């Protein structure tokens, strides 16, 4: 009997140890960034895992940089535009792909998926030419366009799956009630897709918020830069100094909104990711 | 007055012929039930009438007007779906009023109509609830309310009770019957449940493999089935079929069956050749049993006791046991030996294709009204 108890206790202990390791692995980098950001530059290279006296000078310095605030504004505009544009296009596409039976539907879906498989670097030069030709270089539109291109395959696929899971009879009931396809989509199907919309919207937002390569390539001036590029370009007093404190403070500042967003929509995200997996 | 007419309607889907030359007339105010095994095309037929599927060939007329190319909302039909398909995010009120709103009904009229519909269906107190807060029967009523709200002339039901449990099903069946009496609108109802068909219908349409087998009142279909399929499909337990061979064709036929021996039956078989294979149908309630003396007669293979009656299964050497519906008091037990008596007025004779042979009118008078199993032809044991 006691042997069984011992085994049970050990198993439980092992389980929590594993969780502890995972948690440490996932959270420690972020935690260390916070700790670093709260240290004065003098104390930067003393390794410590706890902040005795928080020092907000780094935050004050970052927030006093006009270009950083400008970058946050740019990022916000770009990310929100990308989310709006991508959701609108993918909901309408998903309605067609998920609800309407037509020849070549599978091919279209496969092409959409195929496009998303190209690495960013592979299309960078081509996209650069397109953006130059459209006269969008060094504007927010350049980023909105390119992010939307890379977000759409994902949002279209996720929303098509969700759309396909909604019962057909619901749509037919709307048809019997005299609803046009647009009314059916906006007043019957869309309200049921909210969890999916929030999930995909948030993921699209995060992707646009964190994107670096395109942002670096398609913008030139401080006024058009987004946050990731702005942080990367923060420099110290001399070429040999990396202002770690400032970098960490800026990173924390741009990550916190995301964490808050995710926490707010956490329940929605989970229900969105698992909706349709179980009946009920 | 003819409300709805199907004229040689055909439907193909993916190279499959779903419906073949369907002709049907439905009078105004009639309650018509489509019944048939799964895959017979009954739901497809309903969806063609609703306008959810398109007709490949033939005409659909409502009030004498061809409506093949009209949108569902222009046809004046309302539909109740099998899964109810209520809008989950809308209240009962919004569910019922959705169609009216889309039809740009005036606000006061809309409210009045919704309240009236709700009252008929006893949904008055539930108007602000969401579908998920309703029981199965209530959801069913909301689904009917939604179909009724725009006051369509024709109401379509697609297996509306199949998601309910047994007792609720009986209750909702009665409610639908009352609703029909009250609204006196034309109703078309698809089901695979023959009890629903028998109890609700003015007219039953039996479908099989995409064509209509027979149209008629429940009683006509039960008592005078036009084909072996209809005979076997309606009735529970189903009709017994005995293999038979036509010995002498004529206005009355001499028929040889392994169970009954050579028997003269009042059916007109003059168009058939001698030796044709036939099947003799008799419902379980038209078989009566008599105790057989000694070691002759048919052996009772099993008895099903149902409280109000018993079903006696007889081993006749055919593929399926012959079932006989008996009173409980008869007290038959497995192993008993019995003699069969068949009610000759209620026998049906079908030819090889399953078509019924016409009953010869005079013959009924002149024949003894029962045929008995000849005891010497009992199957060897």
Q: Measuring CA to CA, which residue among A221, A239, A240 is closest to residue A230?
A: A221
Alpha-helical regions (H) of chain A: 2-37, 57-63, 66-99, 105-115, 120-134, 140-165, 168-176, 181-183, 194-210, 213-218, 227-232, 244-274
Of A191-205, A262-276, B80-94, which gets the smallest average pLDDT? A262-276
B152 and B120 part of one domain: yes
More confident residue, B124 or A266: B124
Task: Express each pLDDT in B340-370 by its tens digit.
Answer: 888 888 899 999 888 999 887 754 444 455 6
Query: Is residue B231 one of the residues assigned to a domain?
Result: no
B129 and B258 part of one domain: no
B140 and B7 part of one domain: yes
Which residue, of B196, B225, B254, is where some domain finishes? B225
Query: Is residue B21 one of the residues assigned to a domain?
Result: yes
Task: Express each pLDDT in B170-228 by its tens digit.
Answer: 988 998 999 999 888 999 999 999 999 999 999 999 999 999 999 999 999 999 999 99
Is the sign of the CA dihedral A137, A143, A148, A150 positive or negative?
positive
State residue B381's pLDDT score.
Answer: 35
Phi then psi for residue B230, to 5 deg, are -65, -40
State residue B370's pLDDT score.
Answer: 61
Q: How many independent structural domains does chain B possess?
A: 2
Q: What is the 3-state secondary structure (H, E, C) of B58-105?
A: EEEEECCEECCCCCHHHCCEEEECCCCCCCCCCCHHHHHHHHHHHCCC
Q: Which run of H or of E encompasses B167? A: helix B166-183
Query: Is residue B232 one of the residues assigned to a domain?
Result: no
Which tokens sit at B139?
Answer: 């959801």
> Shortest Cα distance from B80 to chain A (angstroms)?
8
Residue A175 to residue B77, Cβ atoms within 8 A: no
Give whole-number Cα distances, A186 to A163, A181, A191, B70, B238, in Å: 12, 9, 7, 24, 50
Please check whether residue B321 touches A, CB under 8 A: no
Q: Which residue of A has its CA nearest to B151?
A: A177
Residue A177 to residue B82, Cβ atoms within 8 A: no
Say if residue B373's pLDDT is above 70.
no
Q: Which residue of B has its CA nearest to A180?
A: B102
B29 and B62 part of one domain: yes
Q: How many CB pairs under 8 A join A and B?
A: 53
Residue B3, Cα to own-chain centre: how many angstroms?
A: 22
Give whole-number Cα distances, B147 to A178, B75, B95, B96, B181, in Å: 11, 13, 10, 8, 17
Residue B87 to residue A183, Cβ atoms within 8 A: no
Residue B50 to residue A167, Cβ atoms within 8 A: no
Q: Which positions in chain B touch A174 (Cβ < 8 Å)?
A: 87, 98
Task: State the CB neighbour count (10 A cutoff) for residue B365.
Answer: 8
Q: Mean pLDDT for chain B?
A: 88
B199 and B253 part of one domain: no
State residue A270's pLDDT score.
Answer: 65
State residue B98's pLDDT score.
Answer: 94
Say if residue B334's pLDDT is above 50.
yes
Measured between alpha carbons, how far is B90 from B143 in angstroms, rounded to an integer?
13
Percent of chain B with pLDDT strictly greater than 70: 95
B241 and B218 part of one domain: no
Residue B48, Cα to own-chain centre: how many angstroms?
A: 20
Residue B98 to residue A192, Cβ atoms within 8 A: no
| CATH number of the domain to which B177 belongs | 3.40.50.300
| CATH number of the domain to which B264 belongs | 2.40.50.100
B93 and B41 part of one domain: yes
Q: Which positions in chain B touch A190 (Cβ < 8 Å)?
A: none
Q: Which residue of A has its CA nearest to B85?
A: A170
Q: Which positions in chain B touch A175 (Cβ < 8 Å)?
A: 51-52, 72-73
Which tokens sit at A111?
Answer: 């092409």
Task: Express each pLDDT in B85-123 by its tens digit.
Answer: 899 889 999 999 999 999 888 999 999 999 999 998 889
Q: How far apart are the first and last CA of chain B?
A: 60
Query: Is residue B189 one of the residues assigned to a domain?
Result: yes
Please check whether residue B82 touches A, CB under 8 A: yes
Measured between alpha carbons, how far is B305 from B307 in angstroms, rounded to an integer?
6
Q: Which residue of A has its CA nearest to B96?
A: A177
Residue A169 to residue B81, Cβ atoms within 8 A: yes
Residue B102 to residue A172, Cβ atoms within 8 A: no
> Shortest Cα distance from A82 to chain B (angstroms)?
28
Q: What is the DSSP string of A178-207?
A: T--HHHIIIIIIGGGGHHHHHHHHHHHHHH
Q: Which positions in chain A touch B85 (Cβ < 8 Å)?
A: 167, 169-170, 172-173
B183 and B248 part of one domain: no
Residue B79 to residue A176, Cβ atoms within 8 A: yes
B205 and B302 part of one domain: no
Measured between alpha carbons, how far is B292 from B186 in angstroms, rounded to an integer?
53
Q: Which positions in chain B touch A276 (Cβ < 8 Å)?
A: none
Q: In what order do the strands lie in the sheet with B347-350?
A: B261-265, B253-257, B240-248, B277-282, B347-350
Query: Is residue B6 one of the residues assigned to a domain?
Result: yes
Query: Is residue B262 one of the residues assigned to a domain?
Result: yes
B24 and B137 part of one domain: yes
> Shortest Cα distance from A197 to chain B (angstroms)?
16
Measured between alpha carbons, how far is B115 from B100 in angstroms, rounded to an integer?
13
Mean local confidence (pLDDT), A164-185: 90
Residue B307 belongs to domain spanning: 237-377
Task: Express each pLDDT in A41-97 by its tens digit.
Answer: 777 777 777 777 788 888 888 888 888 889 999 999 999 999 999 999 999 999 999
Please check whether residue B49 touches A, CB under 8 A: no
Q: Which residue of B has its CA nearest to A193?
A: B89
> Is A252 in contact with A34 (CB distance < 8 Å)?
yes
Q: Which residue of A has its CA nearest to B158?
A: A169
B351 and B263 part of one domain: yes
Which residue, of B190, B225, B260, is where some domain finishes? B225
Which residue, of B197, B225, B253, is where some domain finishes? B225
Phi then psi for residue B64, to 5 deg, are 80, 0
Query: Is residue B230 one of the residues assigned to a domain?
Result: no
> Is A202 in contact with A262 (CB distance < 8 Å)?
yes
B365 Rama class: left (phi>0) / alpha (psi -120 to 50) / beta: alpha
Give whole-number Cα distances, B102 to A175, A188, B150, in Å: 11, 12, 10
Measured between alpha carbons, how far is B44 from B22 in angstroms, rounded to an integer?
12
State residue A278's pLDDT score.
Answer: 41
Neighbouring-strand partners of residue B372: B341
B86 and B108 part of one domain: yes
Q: What is the dihedral of CA A193, A198, A203, A208, to 10 degrees?
A: 110
């Amino acid at each position: 009997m006691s042997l069984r108890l011992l085994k049970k206790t050990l198993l439980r202990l092992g389980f929590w140890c594993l969780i502890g390791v995972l948690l440490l692995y996932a959270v420690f980098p972020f935690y260390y960034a916070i700790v670093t950001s709260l240290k004065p530059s003098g104390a930067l290279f003393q390794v410590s895992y706890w902040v005795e006296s928080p020092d907000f000078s780094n935050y004050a310095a970052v927030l006093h940089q006009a270009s950083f605030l400008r970058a946050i504004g740019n990022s916000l505009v770009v990310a929100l535009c990308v989310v709006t544009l991508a959701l609108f296009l993918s909901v309408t596409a998903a309605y067609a792909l998920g609800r309407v039976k037509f020849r070549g539907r599978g091919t279209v879906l496969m092409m959409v998926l195929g496009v998303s498989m190209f690495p960013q670097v592979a299309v960078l030069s081509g996209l650069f030419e397109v953006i130059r030709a459209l006269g969008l270089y060094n504007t927010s539109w350049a980023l909105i366009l390119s992010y939307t291109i890379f977000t759409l395959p994902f949002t279209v696929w996720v929303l098509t799956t969700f759309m396909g899971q909604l019962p057909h009879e619901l749509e037919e009931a709307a048809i019997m009630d005299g609803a046009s396809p647009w009314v059916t989509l906006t007043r019957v199907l869309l309200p049921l897709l909210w969890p999916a919309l929030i999930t995909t919207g948030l993921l699209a937002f995060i992707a646009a918020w964190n994107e670096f390569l395109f942002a670096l390539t398609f913008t030139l001036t401080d006024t058009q830069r987004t946050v990731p590029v702005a942080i990367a370009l923060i420099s110290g007093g001399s070429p040999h100094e990396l202002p770690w404190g400032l970098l960490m403070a800026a990173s924390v500042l741009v990550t916190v909104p995301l964490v808050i967003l995710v926490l707010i929509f956490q329940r929605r995200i989970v229900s969105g990711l698992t909706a349709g997996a179980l009946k009920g | 007055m003819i409300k709805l007419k199907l004229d040689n309607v055909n439907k193909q889907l993916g190279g499959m012929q779903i419906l073949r030359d369907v002709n049907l007339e439905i009078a105004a105010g009639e309650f018509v039930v489509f019944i048939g095994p799964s895959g017979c095309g009954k739901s497809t037929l309903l969806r063609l009438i609703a306008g959810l599927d398109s007709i490949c060939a033939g005409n659909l007329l409502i009030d004498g007007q061809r409506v093949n190319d009209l949108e569902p909302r222009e046809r004046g039909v309302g539909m109740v779906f099998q899964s109810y398909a209520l809008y989950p995010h809308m209240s009962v009120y919004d569910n019922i009023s959705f169609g009216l709103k889309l039809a740009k009904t005036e606000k006061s009229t809309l409210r009045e109509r919704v309240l009236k519909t709700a009252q008929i269906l006893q949904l008055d107190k539930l108007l602000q609830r969401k579908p998920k807060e309703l029981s199965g029967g209530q959801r069913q009523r909301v689904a009917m309310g939604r179909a009724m709200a725009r006051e369509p002339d024709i109401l379509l039901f697609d297996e509306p009770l199949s998601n309910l449990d047994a007792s609720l099903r009986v209750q909702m069946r009665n409610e639908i019957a009352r609703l029909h009496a009250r609204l006196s609108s034309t109703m078309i109802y698809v089901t695979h449940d023959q009890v629903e068909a028998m109890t609700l219908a003015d007219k039953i349409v039996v479908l099989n493999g995409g064509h209509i087998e027979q149209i008629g009142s429940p009683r006509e279909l039960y008592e005078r089935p036009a084909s072996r399929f209809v005979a076997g499909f309606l009735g529970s337990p189903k009709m017994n079929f005995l293999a038979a061979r036509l010995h002498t064709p004529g206005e009355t036929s001499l028929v040889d069956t392994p169970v009954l021996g050579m028997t003269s039956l009042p059916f007109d078989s003059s168009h058939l050749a001698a030796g044709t294979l036939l099947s003799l149908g008799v419902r379980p309630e038209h078989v009566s049993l008599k105790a057989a003396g000694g070691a002759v007669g048919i052996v009772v293979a099993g008895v099903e006791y149902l409280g109000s009656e018993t079903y006696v299964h007889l081993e006749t050497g055919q593929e399926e046991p012959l079932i006989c519906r008996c009173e409980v008091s008869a007290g038959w037990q497995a192993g008993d030996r019995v003699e069969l008596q068949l009610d000759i007025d209620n026998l049906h004779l079908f030819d090889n294709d399953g078509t019924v042979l016409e009953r010869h009118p005079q013959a009924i008078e002149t024949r003894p009204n029962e045929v008995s199993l000849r005891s010497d032809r009992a199957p060897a044991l």
